[in-house]
Amino acid sequence: MIDVIVAGGGPTGMMLAAELRLHGVNVVVLERDAEPSPIVRSLGLHARSIEILDQRGILDRFLAHGTRHPLGGFFAGIRKPAPERLDSAHAYVLGIPQPITDRLLTEWAASLGAQIRRGCEVRGLAQDDSGVDVELATGERLRARFVAGCDGGRSTVRKLLGVGFPGEPSRIDTLIGEMEVTASAETIAAANEEVRRTQLRFGLMPLADGGYRVGVPAAGVSASAPSFEEFTEQLRAVAGTDFGAHSPRWLSRFGDATRLAERYRTGRVLLAGDAAHVHPPAGGQGLNLGLQDAHNLGWKLAATIHGWAPDELLDSYQAERRPVAADVLDNTRAQMTLMSLEPGPLAVRRLVTELMDFEEVNRFLLEKITAIGVRYDFGSAAPLVGRHLPDTPMSEGRLYERLRGGRGLLVDRTGTLSVTGWTDRVDHVVDAAADLPAPAVLLRPDGHVAWAGDDQPGLRDSLTRWFGAG
């Protein structure tokens, strides 16, 4: 029997497969498409996702293919300088096209031993007390102890489970694609400046290889997959020219639908990424949200499979991640409203623009978009508990280097604490010089602070809560 079948080989699925393989879990990834998609749905990674890659020791692979950009302008496109003292050692955006992100995550998962099968479409699910039977479109049947549905906003797994996906349908659609143009850079720059005064969803962005990424409102285009003729017709309608567009590489369409799965777990089947939530692309949060889902779920699912997970550990995945998704849905709804050109939303946009001159407001919104402001509710009033801990130097190396195995970590400045009974799950580093905001901190495998203090009884309670009996 397979330990976990991951349905969907996008960034969420590959991140989850890799996290599971860190713990020796047998993983099979089933991806419907025979070849990777060339469509660039995401253009970058935010600070919390960059931290996750650093914690797993693979950030350099992404930095080699990406470009660091300063933070700012992510909330509804309102441009403000980044506030000082952001709570991250990676206070930048990494510009990197999604196909490259997909490839690097796939290579990482494969290098750890995940079995990746392309051209495999899930058609049926049936579960019992000991496992899940998965039927493929070819008629082949597989059995796994758990299944993770990471198969996108139109998730087959979610539909087979009968999980509700309430929300609002798309009201505002945009055409997007990559193509060549003959217009000069000066003509394009002038058009971007002029048209975006009344059409914030319009724009031509130059790519490194000489092509352009083009976006234009989809009003009047009814087809779900636009033709190139429809695309250029929209350019002429909105900008008065099609810029000599030719040689399209790919064309797509996205909307502002907003939906959240009623539950993330049904017995032995769990949902992550767009299978659990869809929202407008405002702020570039979608891919990042999925990676963070997988980072939260992976160690918990592995602990359940290995038998040391506390009873409620796997259910904490929904308890922690669903409110985060609900918040993203809310902030993207707000951003889309602020991007409207109606008089009321424009007035609110002017007000929000003024409020963002206050550094604390600017920081609050930026930490929301980049997810470094996420704090899980662990029932503790201690300000550190539930938050991520930024990377920091230690006597030897850095904090995040200690998290690369996906295990828990106690960083102890006192030298008086112990993780005896949990050493197979939790590493213990005594470092009096560690730059910590507490005498000692216990980090979960996802880098969130489970406990902070200097008392052994409190530490023992937290170890038991998150890592099972010692």
Regarding whether 226 and 130 lie in a shared domain, the answer is no
Residue 377 belongs to a domain: no
Q: What is the CATH number of the domain that holds 201?
A: 3.30.70.2450
Closest to 262 in 3D by CA, of 125, 166, 376, 168:
166
The whole-angstrom separation of Cα 298 and Cα 400 is: 18
Residue 448 belongs to a domain: yes
Regarding whether 138 and 19 lie in a shared domain, the answer is yes
pLDDT digits (tens, 9 = 90+) for 228-251: 999 999 999 999 999 999 999 999
Residue 405 belongs to a domain: yes
Helix/strand/coil for 48 = helix
Residue 28 parent element (H or E): strand 27-31
DSSP assignment of 214-234, as one string? Answer: EEEE-TT---SS--HHHHHHH
Regarding whether 420 and 363 lie in a shared domain, the answer is no
Q: What is the CATH number of the domain that holds 362?
A: 3.50.50.60
Give the end of a domain, one of 221, 254, 287. Answer: 254
Regarding whether 265 and 249 lie in a shared domain, the answer is no
Residue 354 parent element (H or E): helix 343-355
Angle at CA of residue 193, ends 190 and 197, nearest 5°: 140
Regarding whether 426 and 344 lie in a shared domain, the answer is no
pLDDT at 223: 62
Give the end of a domain, one of 211, 230, 254. Answer: 254
Tokens of 421: 């009974």
Regarding whether 18 and 158 lie in a shared domain, the answer is yes
Beta bridge partners of 122: 136
Exposure of 160 by Cβ count < 10 A (0-12 exposed, 13-18 middle, 19+ buried)? buried
Regarding whether 157 and 52 lie in a shared domain, the answer is yes
Beta bridge partners of 250: 178
pLDDT at 161: 97
Regarding whether 249 and 294 lie in a shared domain, the answer is no
Give the end of a domain, one of 222, 254, 286. Answer: 254
Regarding whether 55 and 26 lie in a shared domain, the answer is yes
Residue 376 belongs to a domain: no
Angle between helices 286-306 and 47-55 (to 10 degrees): 40
Helix/strand/coil for 340 = coil
Residue 346 belongs to a domain: yes
Helix/strand/coil for 106 = helix
Regarding whether 336 and 202 lie in a shared domain, the answer is no
Residue 425 belongs to a domain: yes
Beta bridge partners of 429: 411
The whole-angstrom separation of Cα 257 and Cα 267 is: 28
pLDDT at 208: 81
Residue 388 belongs to a domain: no
Could you say which residues of the chain have pLDDT below 50? none
Distance separating the N- and C-terminal Cα atoms of the chain:
28
What is the number of structural domains in the chain?
3
Contact 269, 238 (CB under 8 A): no
Contact 446, 296 (CB under 8 A): yes
Tokens of 200: 């914030």
Residue 354 belongs to a domain: yes
Regarding whether 458 and 408 lie in a shared domain, the answer is yes
Q: Which domain holds residue 139?
A: 2-167+259-370
Per the rule left: phi > 0, alpha: psi between -120 and 50, beta: everything else, 401 is alpha
pLDDT at 238: 94
Regarding whether 158 and 275 lie in a shared domain, the answer is yes
Q: What is the CATH number of the domain that holds 443?
A: 3.40.30.120
What global pTM score does this model have? 0.94
Calculate the alpha carbon distances from 14 to 124, 324, 343, 402 in Å. 21, 21, 44, 22
Instruction: Quickly tell me which residue has 């560690």 as its tokens.
Output: 434
